Every structure is written in C-alpha cells, then in structure tokens.
C-alpha cells in the first residue's frame, strides 16, 4: 500500500481579516511547534489584502500562506481580479480555486476552475481544487456522480499528484455545523481517490492530498482526519480563532 501523503490543515479566512488579524496568524504560528510540523503542514489563506504582510510575518514559522482565488489569465483588463502570478508574488505557495462560494455566487463552472488551476500551476502555486455536492444533489442520491464530474472537469491534464490538492466540501456542510457521517466522508474520499487513479494513474493519485472541509471543529477533527483517504482539512469559521484552529491542527 502507498504511504499516505503528509496531511495539510488549511484555514480559509474567506472575507474576514484586517491587518490587525495578523496577530491571529502569529498566535497560530506560535502553536505550530516541531511536533505539529512533523505530523502535518499548516496553511492560512487570508484575504488578498493581507496576503503579503502575513507571508512576511510568518517567514521561518513553518506556516504557509495561500490565496483564495485567482484569475485564469496572466494579466489584462479584469478589474478587481488577481492573477496567479500576483498571488505567488505576494508570497503564497497555494491558492484555493473553485470554492463552492465562487461556483455558486460567481457562477464559476468546472471549466473555469480548471483554467484557474492551470494558471496556478503555471505560477508554481499548488491549487486547492474544491468540489462538493449541494443538499438537493445529496438527497437525490447524486453525491458521487456530482463530485466525480466536478473532479474530472476541474483537474488540469498536467496535474501531478504532489502538485495539486483536492478539497471535498459538501456545500450543505459549509458554515452550518452539519457534517456527513464518517462513513459518508470515507465513501466519497475513496471514490475521489479512485477517480484520481483513473485520471492520473494510481501512483500519482496516491500522492494527492484530499482534504475534507465543511464544519470541521476541534471536537470532530480527530474522527474525520483519521478516516482513510482523508489527508487533512479545509477549515472556514474555526480557522479564524487561533485556539480553535490549533485544536484542529493538534487533532491530527
């Protein structure tokens, strides 16, 4: 059996955080000691406005930073958008693409997400590609079909196993306090791994970190993170408080 990739615990701050919240990032960094670093990689994805300052503040701490989105084009007349090179220039190592809030609120399709992931790879960033079903899709028994289709549509052909991260985030579990059962999470992650095997080949698929996201908290992190094919977490609300985020980090 292939050795599981090193877990990644990523905080997605969404549209939260002014310069003063760099103190929260530093408090997180103080809790990421050698023991934590040996077990998992830790990442914070703050708003773009504080990305550079946070990256600078975190140098030498072992905590990486990431963007929350990028444009598919390298430059041009796209008012308000940020290119992958700009995210990288701000010091980030990762960038989230295809978060359900982007897919839903900004109408992004899997083809758009794929183009963004390709741009991220081109800028030497690791894209964290988000996929996940809505409540209606789950209730219609379509979870696996939806997740596989999003994965096939969003993953660049040039992806390598270590060069991308997949985040499974059921839309109905985001910010709701609800999570799927452990068995459901394990089933979806196994299907994602199998689909990655078909797309990348088995050896590369084994290297992909497949994160679970959606109402991860210190109280449920240990159970979720111990499941097969779960290689870390993408955390929203609980990543905004250092103690909660560290509670999740320490649960691995």
Q: Which is nearer to ligand 13P, 99 or 189 (CB)?
A: 99
The CA radius of gyration of the chain, in Å to the nearest whole number, is 17
For 21, 44, 136, 225, the CA distances from 24, given in Å and listed in that order, are 5, 10, 36, 24
* CA 42, 154, 236, 231 torsion-angle sign: negative
Q: Which is nearer to ligand 13P, 121 or 235 (CB)?
A: 235
216 is a site residue for ligand 13P (CB under 6 A): yes
215 is a site residue for ligand 13P (CB under 6 A): yes
Task: Give the interface segment with ligand 13P, choosing from 25-33, 73-81, 118-126, 214-222 (CB under 6 A).
Answer: 214-222
Shortest distance, position 130 Cβ to ligand 13P, whole Å: 7
DSSP H helices in 107-241: 110-122, 135-139, 143-154, 182-200, 202-205, 218-225
103 is a site residue for ligand 13P (CB under 6 A): no
Residue 169 among the catalytic residues: yes
Are the beta carbons of 131 and 167 closer than 8 angstroms? yes
Closest CA to 85 of 120, 52, 126: 120
Dist CA 126 CA 174 (whole Å)? 22
211 is a site residue for ligand 13P (CB under 6 A): no
For ligand 13P, the nearest residue by Cβ is 236
Catalytic residue, candidates 99, 108, 118, 189: 99
Residue 52 among the catalytic residues: no
Using CB under 6 A as the binding rule, the residues of this chain from 61 to 100 that contact ligand 13P are 99
- The residue ranges that bind ligand 13P (CB under 6 A) are 12, 99, 169, 174-175, 213-216, 234-238
């Amino acid at each position: 059996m292939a050795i599981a990739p090193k877990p990644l615990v990523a905080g997605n701050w969404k549209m939260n955080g002014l310069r003063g919240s760099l103190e929260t990032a530093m408090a997180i960094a103080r809790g990421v000691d050698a023991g934590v670093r040996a077990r998992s990689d830790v990442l914070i994805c703050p708003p773009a406005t504080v990305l550079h300052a946070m990256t600078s503040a975190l140098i030498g701490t072992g905590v990486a930073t990431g963007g929350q989105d990028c444009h598919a084009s390298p430059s041009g007349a796209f008012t308000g958008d940020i290119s992958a090179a700009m995210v990288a220039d701000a010091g980030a190592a990762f960038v989230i693409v295809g978060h359900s809030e982007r897919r839903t609120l900004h109408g992004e399709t899997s083809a758009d997400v794929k183009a963004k992931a390709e741009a991220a790879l081109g800028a030497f960033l690791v894209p964290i590609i988000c996929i996940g079903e809505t409540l209606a899709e789950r209730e219609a028994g379509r979870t696996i079909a939806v997740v596989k289709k999003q994965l096939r549509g969003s993953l660049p052909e040039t992806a390598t196993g270590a060069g991308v991260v997949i985040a499974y985030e059921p839309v109905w579990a985001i910010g709701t306090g609800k999570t799927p059962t452990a068995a459901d999470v394990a089933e979806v992650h196994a299907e994602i791994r199998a689909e990655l095997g078909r797309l990348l080949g088995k050896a590369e698929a084994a290297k992909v970190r497949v994160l679970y996201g959606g109402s991860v908290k210190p109280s449920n992190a240990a159970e979720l993170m111990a499941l097969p094919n779960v290689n870390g977490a993408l955390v929203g609300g609980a990543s905004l408080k250092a103690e909660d985020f560290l509670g999740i980090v320490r649960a691995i």
